[in-house]
Structure 1
Amino acid sequence: MEMPDEIYDQLNEHCERGEALLAKGDADAALEQYQAAEALIPSPKLSWEAALWVYAAIGDAWFAKQDFDRARQAFSNAVLCPDGLGNPFIHLRLGQCQFEENNLDKAADELTRAYMAEGLAIFEDENPKYLAFLRTRIDLT
């Protein structure tokens, strides 16, 4: 099933604007763009490949705002989209959200998935506390 070009183009424009806004530190404005993109996705939303990166973008904006519950919800949607399960970035952020919400067993599971898919590189630009935590749960050597 392929999304109509007009909808895909609009969705992509919203996401590009959101990405630029998030890069400038304006997570609130980025969220508005990402949520506008989400509204364009036909039902059932989770069946579209484009939904994966829209939900990941929404989750990343909530993560930037340190609203870990909403970020986790968005990334939980992303993991249900085509190619979502096994996506290292999604598992990384899910693990970070679980860690911040003190769900440490779930955090370890998700962070392990991210590590198994990408190795240590996935943690390079992240707060070192997540990798330090993972080292307490699995052997990384």
Structure 2
Amino acid sequence: MHELPEETHTEIQRLSAAGDQRAAASQFAEALPLYWAAWDLLPEPKTQWEAATWILAAVGDANFLAGDYEAGRDNLSKAMHCPDAVGNPFLHLRLGQCQFELGASDRAVDELMRAYMGDGGKVFEGQDPKYLRFLQTKAKGVSPPKKPWQFWK
């Protein structure tokens, strides 16, 4: 795999970090243009670069947290065509959550199960318990978290 030119990589990191700061402050509308500016710096084909995976993950995460589940689904689905995305528990979690919120139960189960299988369910920690409860109703062998009082309140 080719590497990005150092100058491009540095600017992508700067823009992404600025986007992350805004997202951490729940300023998703301000974060998204910074992530897209980083995306625009990627040479074509954009999906061949490792940076594409984490940029689209950040975009999809911001979409989800802002309640824009359609955009989240679309951006996270696109991320799945980037390096090391398939099998990434966080990406599968967020995509599954978007699918769940959009009423696509079968797709939600598939993605949430991939997230669960990727790390034994740790990725569900700190998430709304409805996602893991939903998965438990659809799939055998899904155990509650080790500290159930964190999730089943």
- TM-score bracket for this pair, using the shorter chain length: over 0.9
Match of 1:53 in 2: 54
Tell me the TM-score normalised to structure 2 length.
0.90
Instruction: Give the structure 1 partner of residue 124 of structure 2.
Output: 123
* CA-to-aligned-CA distance 1:10-64 (integer Å, 9 cap, x gap): 0000000011111111001110110110111111000101100000001111111
> Percent of counterpart pairs with the same letter?
46
Kept in 1, the 8 Å contact 2:115–2:121? The answer is no
1:136 corresponds to which letter in structure 2? T
CA shift, 1:120, in A, is: 2.0
Q: Which runs of 5+ in 2 are unaligned?
A: 144-153
Task: Quote the Cα distance in structure 1 between the aligned partners of 2:139 and 2:65.
Answer: 27
Write out per-residue CA displacement over residues 79-119 of structure 1, whole angstroms, 9 at most, x where no aligned residue.
11010111111100110010001000110000000000111
Q: What is the RMSD of the two structures over their aligned residues, measured on CA atoms?
A: 0.7
Report the AA paired with residue 28 of structure 2: A
Residue pair 2:99, 2:107 contacting (<8 A) in 1 also: yes
Is there any run of 5+ residues in structure 1 with no aligned partner, and where?
none
Structure 1 position 97 matched with structure 2 position 98? yes
Structure 2 residue identity aligned to 1:69: E
Match of 1:109 in 2: 110
Determine which structure has more spread, i.e. the larger CA radius of gyration: 2
How far apart in 1 are the matches of 2:93 and 2:21?
22
1:86 partnered with 2:87: yes
Q: Structure 1 stretches (4+) deviating beyond 3 angstroms?
A: none
May I ask how many residue pairs the two structures share in their alignment? 141
TM-score, normalised to structure 1, is 0.98
Q: Give the aligned partner of residue 151 of structure 2.
A: none
- What CA distance in whole angstroms lies between the structure 2 residues aligned with 1:79 and 1:125? 23
Corresponding residue of 1:136: 137
